[in-house]
Amino acid sequence: MDFGRLITAMVTPFDKEGEIDWDAVSSLVDYLIEEQKSEGLVVCGTTGESPTLSDEEKLQMFSFVLEKAAGRCKVIAGTGSFNTKHTIELTQKAEKIGVDAALLVVPYYNKPNQEGLYRHFAAIAAETKLPLILYNVPGRTGICMSADTTIRLAQIPNIVATKECASLDHVALIVSGTPQDFHVYSGDDSSALPAMAVGGHGIISVASHIEGVRMTAMISAYFSGNVQLAGQLHRELFPVFKGLFECPQPLPSPSAVKYALELRGIKVGSVRLPLTPPNEAEAEFIRKLVL
C-alpha cells in the first residue's frame, strides 16, 4: 500500500479543560487535507500526545478522523506501546474500526534487545491483517532498532514501511536491504530531502501542519528531477523544521506546532501535562518564525 509522500503526524486538539475538542478535530482534518495537502494522517502518534490519551480516546479519535477524512487521505492509527499484548489488542480494535494502517513505535523504557524487538513486531503482525509501519525514534525510546532488524522485519508481508529517525545511514541501509515496495519515511522534517536522496519514499511530518504546501512542492520537485528547486525549498523551510523543536531551546513536540497553529488561526488548544505550552520567550520566537 502506498500512503503517499507527505503524511502529517496530527496533533490532538484539546479544549480549555484538556478534553478532546471534536469540533476542532473536524476542522483540523479538513485543513490538513484540503489546505496543507496531507496524503495521510497519523492519528494518536507522539505528536498527537499518545502517552496522555486513554485507549477509549484513541479509539474515538481513530473512528472520528476516519469518518471525517471520508477517503480523502489514508488514516494511520498510532497503536504502538512497550507492551506487546496491549499493542496487539489496540491494533485489532483499530482494524475493526477500518483504519488504513497502524504505526508501531519501538518499545520504550523497557529496552528490549534486537531479538526482542523482532519478536515484538512479528507477534503483532501475526495478529492483524492491517498494513504496519514501524517507527524507530531512539531519542524518545532510549533504544535504536538496527537496520538489520528492520530489514528482517520487512520480510513479513504486512510490515510495509518504517518511519526512521535514527540517521541517514539507517535510511540508506534499510532501502538497500528491503523489497522495492517497502517504503522508508523520514521522521525528521529537516532530513526529509536528504532521506529521499538516498532512497526514502517521503516524510511523516510535524512541520506539514503549517508548511504542507511548500513541503509538497519540495517533494514533487525532487521526484520530477528538479533537484535545484527541491534544494532551494528545503533551505527556505529549514528554519521552520529546526525552529519548531529548538525555540530557542529544545521544546517537546507538539507544544510549538500547536502554538504555531493557533497563531495561524487554526484552533487546536494547548497540550496536556506533563507537556507545557511555550513560555514567553519561546512564544515570541515561534511568532517570528511563522508569521
Each residue's pLDDT expressed in tens, for the chain with a length of 291 residues? 799 999 999 999 999 999 999 999 999 999 999 999 999 999 999 999 999 999 999 999 999 999 999 999 999 999 999 999 999 999 999 999 999 999 999 999 999 999 999 999 999 999 999 999 999 999 999 999 999 999 999 999 999 999 999 999 999 999 999 999 999 999 999 999 999 999 999 999 999 999 999 999 999 999 999 999 999 999 999 999 999 988 767 777 899 999 999 999 999 999 999 999 999 999 999 999 999
Domain membership flag for residue 127 = yes
Is the pTM higher than 0.95? The answer reads: yes
Cell for 271? Answer: 497540550
Domain membership flag for residue 233 = no
- Residue 149's domain comprises 6-227
How many domains would you assign to the chain? 1
Domain membership flag for residue 198 = yes
Q: Are 170 and 199 in contact (CB under 8 A)?
A: no
Domain membership flag for residue 111 = yes
Domain membership flag for residue 142 = yes
Domain membership flag for residue 232 = no
Q: What pLDDT is attached to residue 248? A: 67
What CATH number corresponds to the domain at position 68? 3.20.20.70
Domain membership flag for residue 51 = yes
Residues classed as catalytic: 135, 163
8 annotated as a binding-site residue: no
Domain membership flag for residue 136 = yes
84 annotated as a binding-site residue: no
Q: What pLDDT is attached to residue 285? A: 94
